[in-house]
Amino acid sequence: MRIGPIERGSAALGAESKNSEQSAPGSILPRPPGLIVFAACMVVIAFIASIAAGLMLAVRHDNALWTDHVFSRLTVQIMPEGTTPPLAEVAAAVALLRVTPGVASADVMSASENAALVGPWVRSGESADGLPFPALIDVKLDGGRALDLPALKQKLLESAPHAVFDDPRQAIGAAAPLTVQIFWMAAVVLAVSAVSFVLALTGFLRGWIGAQQHNVELLRLLGVSDGRIAGLIGRIPTAGVVLTAATGCGLTGCLFVLRGTGGRFASAIPALVPALSRADLPWLAFIPVGAAIIAWVTCRLLVWAALRRSTV
């Protein structure tokens, strides 16, 4: 650009000129004050939100496990008469169970399966053969059809008087509402974390936008569009939110993994942190991603609201 003659100072361009060409320009808007405190808050909120999300994933996983392996099964024992269970009663019980509505299958467990069950209680080198062991019938229930358990019990005792019901659902069933409560409690904590995040972000941004009013007006007078101004203002907080939320989630993810390994570190981790499978860990990425989207939208809305009030 040659607007006019360089009247003086040409010789002085030396060192300063080189510095200006080499040094990277700073950010157009200054770094917000209180950014460190805000970042620390974000890490804490992300940490709490991640634990809540992890709890929801773990409880959902446990619920599915219980439904598949506990609530959909029961065991019928035909107690031994002497050293062996009466085979006629075993056959009658299996036949009855297989035609009962609500029962998907009924199979007598094999001798090897029985041996595997009692194995831990038998000294090494000794055999479980000859022990008075009941015949175990593994009953899988058809989840889609209701089972009239009292009627089945009565019929079963009529055809197999040595039959005993082993229904784990009654014992474990009491814990089922608890898992639902934990799930929803974690959901509430997650929602409260999200609200706290929005409130903290809004307070932080409003303070900063207010402090930047002078600079924002100058940018507008220089012909910068409102969208770009919103981008300039939102860049640092949004990047900060992504970074801090990722940090908080990363910390929690490490705890989940350590807890899941069951190694010597697992016992040192508070019981609040559940063991989470590695397959579930990617779900935690939704927290920094969601936080970034919320931060971006919040920032745009606040900046546009501020620009609408601006007189420039």
Strand, helix or coil for residue 104: strand
- DSSP letter at 10 equals S
Q: From the CB of 207, what's the least distance to other proteins, in Å?
A: 17
- DSSP letter at 1 equals -
- Could you tell me which stretch among 16-24, 47-55, 57-65, 144-152 binds other proteins (CB under 8 A)? 16-24
**Other beta carbons within 10 Å of 121:** 8
Q: Residues 153, 158, 160, 162: what is their CA dihedral angle, to the nearest 10 degrees?
A: 80
- Could you tell me which stretch among 15-23, 64-72, 178-186, 283-291 binds other proteins (CB under 8 A)? 15-23
Q: Which is nearer to other proteins, 22 or 267 (CB)?
A: 22
- The residue type found at 167 is D
* Residue 201-220 contact track with other proteins, rule CB under 8 A, x = bound: -------------xx-xxxx
Q: Answer yes or no whether residue 297 interacts with other proteins by CB under 8 A.
A: no
Angstrom CA distances, 228 to 174, 201, 225, stand at 57, 20, 5
> Which phi and psi angles does 84 have, rounded to 5°?
-130, 145
Show contacts with other proteins in window 227-266 (CB under 8 A).
228
Q: Which is nearer to other proteins, 199 or 218 (CB)?
A: 218
> Which phi and psi angles does 25 have, rounded to 5°?
-70, 145
Contact criterion met (CB below 8 Å) for 72 and 141: yes
Q: Answer yes or no whether residue 144 interacts with other proteins by CB under 8 A.
A: no
Q: Answer yes or no whether residue 111 interacts with other proteins by CB under 8 A.
A: no
Q: Answer yes or no whether residue 309 interacts with other proteins by CB under 8 A.
A: no
Token readout for 255 is: 């705890």
Applying CB under 8 A, what is the total number of residues that bind other proteins? 38
- Could you tell me which stretch among 8-16, 75-83, 140-148, 292-300 binds other proteins (CB under 8 A)? 8-16
Instruction: Please report where in the chains the tokens 């510095």 appear, as a residue.
Output: 19
Q: Answer yes or no whether residue 223 interacts with other proteins by CB under 8 A.
A: yes
Q: Answer yes or no whether residue 12 interacts with other proteins by CB under 8 A.
A: yes
Binding site for other proteins (CB under 8 A): 1-10, 12-13, 16-17, 19-21, 24-26, 28-30, 214-215, 217-226, 228, 311-312
